[in-house]
Amino acid sequence: MLLKLAEAAFAQGAYDDAADWYQKIYEEIPDNKNICSKIGISLAQHGKFEEALKFLIDALKDHPNDKILLNFMGLSLSQTGDFINAEKYFRKLIRFGGGDDFTLSNLAAVLNELGRFDEAERIYKTSLRRRPDNLVSQYNLGLLKLLKGNFMQGWQGFELRNAAKGIADFNMPNVKRWQGECVDGCRIFLYSEQGLGDTIQFARYAAELASFGAEVIIQCDDALADLMLTIDGVAQAGLPNNFIKDIDYYTSLLSLPKVFQTKSESIPGRCPYISVPAELPKMAVLDKKSELIKHRIGLVWAGNAKHKSDRTRSIDLKFFTPLLARKDIKFYSLQAGESTAEIDLLEKALRPSKIFPNKRPLTEVGSAMQHLDLVISVDTSLAHLAGALSIPVWTLISFYPDWRWMLNRSDSPWYPSMRLFRQPNIGNWHAVIDEVGQALDTFVS
């Protein structure tokens, strides 16, 4: 009976329930390695990779060459940050004939995490030689091209960001998708994708379209609407509601670099391209500068916890202790959400002050930033906000960076006021904080 319930739950994609039923069986028959493997696979399918590892390791003792177990072992290790061992399992899977496109793609992803980008590129190309229509490999290869600064080839793959995930592109019936046609006197609708930072980064192209005579409408999260309306030529912004009418063209904000044939040296670089009120918001609290407080610096240590890369891009606040202990700098938290609870875990003398008592609109956050000497941020939307406002911002980047930060450079062609601080190896935030500390010595002098 329990087995039927477990199998039915698994077949329906209710992997958490399936794992629970399988574990009840396992409690009664702890030597059953088949049930052990099913628990591990169910947990991995549900995203509980840490828990899955225990059962997968146990099941592999009796079935060391099982292709399904090897695959889920590699996936679980990669999702928990053990990329070295994940590579071993994916390569073993390939040796035993399990080298399908998905395995090759997973292996290449692990090689990217390990910083072995040329090897990863060869793997993606191998996958495409086998199956040229493999959208996942085309997309991932495009991201890798962008990371390496080969924008013209990279944008081609980047256009497959939805198709590679089986998601249909947004479509406006009876309206033509813009491919570079003359837009003088036309209304063009730009829709956002992915996160707030992506919208801020690519919204710069709205001003380019406006310079060609277009009236620009931007569909975006309401949190960004007021900011988008400050861009030259943007007539309307926010959630669509009633303003999708009499549209001549539409396209995604993220497709604009491809249409504009953007290279790293031709990125529209006029910053700021958004604006916020110059006055300090009423809710903001900033100490006046004095002999004791000569520099005021904003701090952002965590991004959206639901982001797929949050594990590698956010930093525990305790890592910043060497900076927070400085007497010549007053640090202010620009953080919002659950991560603000980390402030109270520090000694009182080390705690950054909160600029706002609670979450405030991004326009107010931007206004407060203008009254700081510097913003130090992990890779999140507030780093983009500071960059788009041309505020000095130091962005802390993981060893395997998001494609937009490219490789082997401390500047960003997207944001002239931004400086990048990179992990020298996987997970090494201590070295990044040390480098930031040394840079602050120069900054304050």
**Domain boundaries, position 304:** 295-444
**What is the pTM assigned to this prediction?**
0.91
15 shares its domain with 102: yes
One domain, residues 208 and 161: no
Q: Both 13 and 139 in a single domain?
A: yes
Shared-domain flag, residues 326 and 368: yes
Residue 171, domain member (yes or no): no
Query: What's the confidence (pLDDT) of residue 237?
Result: 93
Q: For position 252, which CATH number holds?
A: 3.40.50
Q: Is residue 366 domain-shared with residue 397, that is, in the same domain?
A: yes
Whether residue 255 sits in one domain with residue 129 = no
User: Distance of CA 254 to CAs 204, 213, 257, 304, 405, Å?
Assistant: 11, 21, 7, 20, 16
Among the candidates 259, 283, 310, a domain finishes at: 259
In terms of domains, do 70 and 122 share one?
A: yes
Given this model, what pLDDT does residue 336 score? 86
Last residue of a domain, one of 232, 259, 286: 259
For residue 242, the model assigns a pLDDT of 59
State the total domains in the chain: 3
CB 175 within 8 A of CB 219: no
CATH assignment at residue 7: 1.25.40.10
Q: Is the same domain home to 434 and 351?
A: yes
Give me the pLDDT at residue 140, please.
94
CATH of the domain at 325: 3.40.50.2000
pLDDT in tens, the chain (445 residues): 667 776 777 787 888 887 887 778 777 777 776 888 888 989 899 989 999 999 999 999 888 899 999 999 999 999 998 999 999 999 999 988 777 888 898 999 999 999 999 999 999 999 999 889 999 999 999 999 999 999 999 999 999 999 999 999 999 988 999 999 999 999 999 999 999 999 999 999 999 999 999 999 999 999 999 999 999 999 999 987 656 778 999 999 999 999 999 999 999 978 999 999 999 888 888 888 777 788 999 999 998 777 777 788 999 999 999 999 998 899 999 998 888 999 999 999 999 999 988 888 999 999 999 999 999 999 999 999 999 999 999 999 999 999 999 999 999 999 999 999 999 999 999 999 999 999 999 999 8
Torsions phi, psi of 225, nearest 5? Answer: -55, -50
Assess contact for 192 and 198: CB atoms under 8 A.
Answer: yes
Cα–Cα distance between 323 and 306 in angstroms, integer?
Answer: 27
Residues 149 and 253 occupy one common structural domain? no
Domain end point (choices 165, 186, 204): 165
One domain for residues 362 and 431: yes
In a domain, 264, yes or no: no
Q: Are residues 189 and 42 in the same domain?
A: no
